[in-house]
Amino acid sequence: MDPTQTTLIDLRNAIASKQVSAEEATRAYLDRIDTHNDALNAFRDRMTDYALKRARAVDTGEVTGRLAGVPIAIKDCMCHTEGTTACSSKMLEHYRSPFTATAVQRLEDEGAVILGKTNMDEFAMGSSTENSAFGVSRNPWDLDRVPGGSSGGTTSAMAADLAAAALGSDTGGSIRQPAAITGLVGLKPTYGRISRWGLVAFASSLDQIGPVTHTLADAALLTQIMCGKDPLDSTSADVPVESDLHDVDGEIDLAPGGGKLRIGIASQYLDESANHPAVTAAFNEALAVYKQQGAEVVEVDLPHTEYGIPCYYIVATAEASSNLARYDGVHYGHRTGEPTPNGANAIQHLMSQSRAEGFGSEVKRRIMLGTYALSSGYYDAYYNRALKTRRLIARDFDTAFEQCDAILCPTTTGPAFKIGDKADDPLAMYMNDIYTVTTNLAGIAGVSVPGGFAEEDGKRLPVGVQLIGKAFDEKRLLRIARRYERETELWKHRPAL
């Protein structure tokens, strides 16, 4: 078998049954990285020697577990003692973490082989991976197009089969949006479901680690392993993890008194003038699949959706301004090589020059926006009002889920756009997350699954559909999504490289 042309679970089973060794599987992925990464720029840092050492330990029986020998990639904002954790920023280019993120450690405890760090928008700020200090990543379906962001290196690697599975982080759609436009499954779990210890912070009340895979079963297995209370993360939820979370083909627990699966649709997500025809077609096809399976379609109202983008870009930038204040060239991060003048302004000069050199333009933009929103005289007008709006958005979802089991909607407004098309228009770039930011603001779960293809410039470009579920209801959400995946099997399509 070719270990790079399969699913995580199938590869895990093949390694366990000795059809292929863990070292053979790891070398196969490392060879694909060597062959394709120059064109894709999906990996920023490779852990070749470390990965092979881990694989050999699996083959000798020293390392065991539910993921024994499975090669996995992790986003560059997740700490690991091997290699560097740069957040794809010059500010942290040489940073070596003394610890490993809890989510990553839990995968390694089950035998996973970490291949390396994937490229991303600097400090996870972006929707295209054009903001990386180490160059743009490219979409394997069309190398002239973006793979989404901020987890674009992650989705580029997965779509090109450079790893059996990968981890991304989602602050406003950074797993789901790139997964949609590269033909993958991307899950943003409930806030607090997976520990954020060792995830370099962008916006602490929004960030969440999640899996990027080919199938929902693969995503469910990784989620089950990573979930659970972590004493190192005060925001991780002490909520029991279902022993059958990985079983996406199991029965769906329906609301008391309800005999049918109820799929909610909201008019706020269905503006045909804003959505690419392929996105509209994918949504309609998904809705038809659920109707054919006997689901009841329920119209729900999410009236504050229109405030999602402005609310998000106040809350997220305010938190980013606070979180990134530590990178000043003194406590953490890049220090300028310019001579520092003597006198009272010496430390101010050192810090300002270090930050000017270390941060890219988008990070600087968001720091300034957040600092302004938190400044004296504007706090109530912007930040405090955004927090009130956030509560209204969460209440909209609470009300909607009284009427339905999951909400079906697009993941993005269209397929991948060409590199450079939106680089000079920040607002147009921010609107890429219009269908994803509200789930982060509400702290609930969302999953994007392959929905079909658009045809542009002679290329087939993936689009996705999204299902949104209640907080801590990942098991039911994944089982509902599986009904669609099982019918369409769109995950089997791969780009030609």
List, in order, residues 6 or more apart from 284 with CB less than 8 Å away: none
Q: What is the CA radius of gyration of the chain?
A: 22
- Order across the sheet with 296-300: list the strands: 43-46, 113-118, 71-75, 165-169, 209-213, 185-188, 445-456, 459-469, 406-410, 262-266, 296-300
Q: Please check whether residue 231 is in contact with residue 237, taking contact to mean a CB–CB distance below 8 angstroms.
A: no
pLDDT tens string 43-78: 999 999 999 999 999 999 999 999 999 999 999 999
Count of structural domains within the chain:
1
Any idea which residues carry the catalytic annotation?
75, 150, 174
CA distance 57 to 336: 42
**pTM, full prediction:** 0.96
CA pseudo-torsion sign 303, 306, 310, 313 = positive
Orientation of helix 474-488 relative to helix 277-292, angle to 10°: 100
Percent of the chain topping pLDDT 90:
91
What count of other Cβ atoms lies within 10 Å of the Cβ of residue 270? Answer: 16
- Higher per-residue confidence, 340 vs 347: 347
User: At 491, which CATH number?
Assistant: 3.90.1300.10
pLDDT tens string 365-385: 999 999 999 998 899 999 999
With CA atoms as reference, report the closest residue to 282 among 408, 192, 383: 408
The kind and range of the H/E element at 335 are: none
pLDDT at 273: 81
Identity of the residue numbered 154:
T
pLDDT at 142: 98
Identity of the residue numbered 497:
L
CA distance 172 to 213: 19
What count of other Cβ atoms lies within 10 Å of the Cβ of residue 193? Answer: 24
List, in order, residues 6 or more apart from 388 with CB less than 8 Å away: none
Q: Please check whether residue 250 is in contact with residue 220, taking contact to mean a CB–CB distance below 8 angstroms.
A: no
Task: Say whether 13 sits in a helix, a strand or coil.
Answer: helix
C-alpha distance from residue 66 to each of 1, 10, 15, 16, 170 (Å) = 20, 12, 11, 9, 25
The kind and range of the H/E element at 12 are: helix 8-16
Q: Once rounded to an integer, what is the mean pLDDT over residues 125-131?
A: 97
pLDDT tens string 396-420: 999 999 999 999 999 999 999 999 9
C-alpha distance from residue 148 to each of 233, 328, 374 (Å) = 28, 29, 29
pLDDT at 344: 62
Q: What does pLDDT average to over the chain?
A: 96
Give the position of tokens 């990464």.
37
Residue 480: pLDDT over 60 = yes
Asked if residue 150 has a cis previous peptide bond (ω within 30° of 0), the answer is yes
Please return the burial class of 459, using the count of CB atoms within 10 Å of its CB with bins 0-12, 13-18 and 19+.
middle
Please return the burial class of 335, using the count of CB atoms within 10 Å of its CB with bins 0-12, 13-18 and 19+.
middle
Binning pLDDT at 50, 70 and 90, where does residue 345 land?
confident
pLDDT at 340: 73
Give the position of tokens 């098309």.
421
List, in order, residues 6 or more apart from 293 with CB less than 8 Å away: 261, 483, 487
pLDDT at 376: 87
pLDDT tens string 146-161: 999 999 999 999 999 9
**The domain containing residue 402 runs over which residues?**
1-497
